[in-house]
Amino acid sequence: MVSAQRAVPARVQRAWDVLAGVLDPEVPALSLCDLGIVRDVREAGDALEVVLTPTYSGCPATEVIEQSVREALERDGLGPVQLKLQRAPAWTTDWISEDGRRKLREYGIAPPGHIEPGAPVAIRLVPRRIAPVACPRCGSTHTEQLSAFGATACKSLHRCLDCREPFEHFKPI
């Protein structure tokens, strides 16, 4: 994010404000900035360069996201816009802001837990313990996973055993 101490061109500052209002097409509770996929905004000659990081390799929303970033900035008179896709470092749900996590919960999606640093774990044989996911409606951790994959690549499906409501969980990755 932009530090207040650094001299930031007004155009760049304005662009961050505009992008904070561009919503993710698949989880419209979150802006692209809440999700942490806008990595940088800078001036490159006449153009405004926006650096985006894809969430999942096959996320079908990637192209819609690029298009909505371009449209939002051009509509605000900040163009011409150059988009740059940057894969490294890989996006992680740890980049979802605290504000974003709150919005997810309010939207009915359990936010992701934090990622343990280190290499990905080897396969676990059952029985195994999955860290309990708190129900976004009643807060109970007495929940169970129904499906490791949900309606989009980034979510899994759960159910609360107390309030009996099904809910989605943003998978930590």
Partner 1 sequence: MQASIQLQRDPRQQYLLRIGDTCLILAQRLGEWTGHAPVLEEDIALANMALDLLGQARAVLTLAGSAQGLDEDQLAFLREERDYFNPTLVELPNGDGRPGDFALTVLRNLFVSTLLRHLWVRLHDSSDEELSAIAAKAVKEASYHQQHAADWVLRLGDGTDESHRRMQAALEKLWPYVAELFEDDAVDEQAAADGLGPRWAELRANWHAEVAPLLQEATLQPPPDKSFMSTGKRGVHSEHMGYILAEMQHLQRAYPGGAW
Query: Within a 10 A sphere around the Cβ of 88, how many other Cβ atoms?
Result: 6
CA 173 to chain centre: 11
Minimum separation from the CB atom of position 127 to partner 1 (A): 11
Note the residue count of the chain: 173
* Residue 4 contacts partner 1 per CB under 8 A: no
Of 149, 161, 162, 164, the one binding partner 1 by CB under 8 A: 149
Of 6, 114, 124, 129, the one binding partner 1 by CB under 8 A: 124
* Residue 166 contacts partner 1 per CB under 8 A: no
Minimum separation from the CB atom of position 91 to partner 1 (A): 7
* Residue 112 contacts partner 1 per CB under 8 A: no
Cis peptide upstream of residue 80 (ω within 30 degrees of 0): yes
Contact yes or no for 134/143 (Cβ under 8 A): yes
Of 87, 98, 118, 131, the one binding partner 1 by CB under 8 A: 87
Q: Which helix (H) or strand (E) holds 19?
A: helix 10-19
Half-sphere exposure of 60 (CA within 13 A, CB side): 4
Going residue by residue from 13 to 52, which x/- string records binding to partner 1, judged by CB under 8 A?
Answer: ----------------------------------------
